[in-house]
Structure 1
Amino acid sequence: MDEALHIASLVVLARPELFEAVKANLRLLDNLELHQQSAAGKVVVVLEAVDEQQILQRIEQINSMPGVLNTALIYHELLAPEGDCP
């Protein structure tokens, strides 16, 4: 790995009646995977980014999607390039 890689986990809460549309829109985004979901309109999303700003931009992008009520950052990990670890 030549550059740092940020891994973030989010929980996206959507209106249940628009949940399928929200998931379809999320699947269109690069470097993002959908994982566990509930019928109440919650889905766990994992994304990869090059920096923290890109994570924040993606959260804003998701929050602006029709049917999304909230996006919460649950986990963030920075994977350092090889040779940068002590």
Structure 2
Amino acid sequence: MTGRRILVIDDEAAMRDSLAFLLDISGFWVATYETATEFLNDIASGPIDCVVSDIRMPGMSGLELVRKLKADRLDCPVVLITG
């Protein structure tokens, strides 16, 4: 286990679960969220090594999330994906 904490945000359960599975078997600690708001409500739960987020989601989009994280000075890599 690498101990790296990867947070996955996607409104599609199949995509969330697939990414979580692949990251988990690669040795990462993974948490998943259905929405950016759900993620932001849980952001203080520990260190973040990387965020993987869908671009298009209901409510706050992935691009809006990146802007919010930058404004809040959260310094971690963010990978945006789309299906």
Report the TM-score, using the length of structure 1 for normalisation.
Answer: 0.31
Ranked by relative contact order (alpha carbons within 8 Å, sequence separation 6 or more), the top structure is 1
Bigger proportion of residues as helix: 2
Bigger proportion of residues as strand: 1
Larger-gyration structure (1/2): 1
